[in-house]
Amino acid sequence: MPTAKKETLSKHFGTWYRKVLIDAGIADYRYPIKGCGVWMPYGFKIRKYGLQILRDLLDSTGHEEALFPLLIPETSLEKEAAHVKSFEAECFWITRGGLNTLDVKLALRPTSETVITPMLKLWIRSHKDLPLKLYQVVNVFRYETKTTRPLIRVREVSTFKEAHTSHATFEESEAQIREATEVYKRFFDALGVPYVISRRPEWDKFAGAVYSDGFDTVLPDGRTLQIGTVHNLGQNFSKAFDVTYEAEGGKREHIWQTCYGISERWLAAVFGVHGDDNGVVLPPKIAPIQAVIIPIPHKEKGEKITETCIKTAKKLEDEACMRVKADLREELTPGSKFFDWELKGVPVRIEIGPRDFERKEAIVVRRDTFEKTSVKLDELVEYLQALMEKMSKEMREKALKWLHEHIHSAKSLAEVKTFLNKRAGIVEVSWCGETDCGLKMEQEINGKVLGVLQNVKEKVSGNCVVCGKKAQNIVRVAVAY
């Protein structure tokens, strides 16, 4: 069985990535402002189908979609002390409206806690208004000074799904964190993107949060990518904005909040994790075209083959509910069509040539493995429905296996360094839990502490790799994007 090559991809991920995004018609960052890019029509559709999965998951768990303003007065941003401290140096600031200088300067939202919380103050009166679970899908902005990279490190994050929930008690907010984590797991599972979840260290938690959990995956170059975060905000923002509710019994209490976000990095992860030397490989669920049908030209039978292609496309659309395209362009050879659709990651290619036509068959080629199978035309609907499921499952398993192969365990900082120098992925080490030690570790390994593994107390043993004291945690470290 032929297998897909990942050679270029792993060695020259950055070059491959930028090129494939443009060539496949996904996203183009050659815009005159650094870190700002365009979702091209094909990429826009991938994004749309992916967002639909996320929206369905949120809607079915009682979240409601809303849309809040982009602009934040400096006076609002300042209200939560830790929050403004972290974000003010990263915001784009509007100081002029038309030809006037503004009295209060306005930030482009880097995230929306300080936009949403003042509105909650207007809407929430009693415990009957709780829980309130809102989300929006919007663009957010960071004045990024480092090197930018499409969808990964940008100035305009074009696609930020941020959820903001309000609760009557801390316990309910904790239950919400569990629900959010479950929603995100199911989202990444649907995309076949594997992840680890770590509790971010104190110095890397969201500004204004009580604690933050992060989802990370490993890209082909061995660096980790944060693809989702879940935060318990406690009462930090509700106290800063004085948002209270009337509890049963009449007492006014501050609400408890959580927030969790996923940016367009999930798309970067999909392209990176599943891609190969020939282009992107799309999980069937989010592929704008799930199967492309290509006629093999033939002098006598050409017309009838084309007809069969059109009929087959129609049948698959109607009976298998698939998104199908018959590529009948006459000016292109089958080979150049194969090249096009492989680049764009269409999950299945269906070829119909003269011999297949005679036999009432088609050749089905899987994009992920290049495996070829002859299938009877009248069995195609069932075959492809099963294949879509199979591919989703196998792509997920393959990616998960690859991630597991890139998680290592180390007993010393030297060992960690060896792993990270060869970009081997994530390394797990024992840690005392002290911030000083953590920061020292980051400096020594020239990498990042992703955070602490949860619910593994029984596995903690040995000593901190930095200070040698008794370990309290297992912590993940990596070279991160």
Residues that bind its own copies (CB under 8 A): 28, 30-33, 36-41, 44-45, 47-48, 64-71, 73, 75-76, 88-100, 105-106, 108, 115, 118-119, 122-123, 134, 139, 143, 145, 155-156, 158
Residue 286 CB, shortest distance to its own copies, in Å, is 15
In a 13 Å sphere around the CA of 439, the CA atoms on its Cβ side amount to: 6
CB 247 within 8 A of CB 168: yes
Residue number with CB closer to its own copies (104 or 414): 104
Burial level of 474, CB count in 10 A (0-12/13-18/19+)?
Answer: buried
Cβ of 136: how many Cβ atoms within 10 Å?
17
In 344-403 the beta strands, taken as DSSP E runs, fall at 348-352, 361-366, 372-376
Residue number with CB closer to its own copies (128 or 393): 128
Residue 416 CB, shortest distance to its own copies, in Å, is 32
Burial level of 42, CB count in 10 A (0-12/13-18/19+)?
Answer: middle
For residue 194, report the phi and psi dihedrals to the nearest 5 degrees. -80, 160
| Cα dihedral sign, 229-233-238-240 | negative
Residue 252 CB, shortest distance to its own copies, in Å, is 21
CB 164 within 8 A of CB 134: yes
Residue 419 CB, shortest distance to its own copies, in Å, is 34
Residue number with CB closer to its own copies (328 or 413): 328
Q: How far apart are the C-alpha atoms of 342 and 370, rounded to whole Å?
A: 10
* Nearest 10 degrees: Cα torsion 260, 265, 269, 275: 160
Residue 72 CB, shortest distance to its own copies, in Å, is 8
131 upstream amide cis, omega within 30 of 0: yes
Residue 88 CB, shortest distance to its own copies, in Å, is 8
Residue number with CB closer to its own copies (118 or 302): 118
Residue number with CB closer to its own copies (243 or 388): 243
Residue 5 CB, shortest distance to its own copies, in Å, is 29
Residue number with CB closer to its own copies (58 or 387): 58
Q: How far apart are the C-alpha atoms of 204 and 191, rounded to whole Å?
A: 27
Residue number with CB closer to its own copies (73 or 433): 73
Residue 10 CB, shortest distance to its own copies, in Å, is 29
Residue 118 CB, shortest distance to its own copies, in Å, is 6
Place of tokens 């297998």: 3
Residue number with CB closer to its own copies (100 or 455): 100
Torsion-angle region of residue 216: left (phi > 0), alpha (psi -120 to 50) or beta? beta
- Rg of the chain (C-alpha set): 25
Residue number with CB closer to its own copies (91 or 420): 91
Side chain identity at residue 30, one-letter code: R
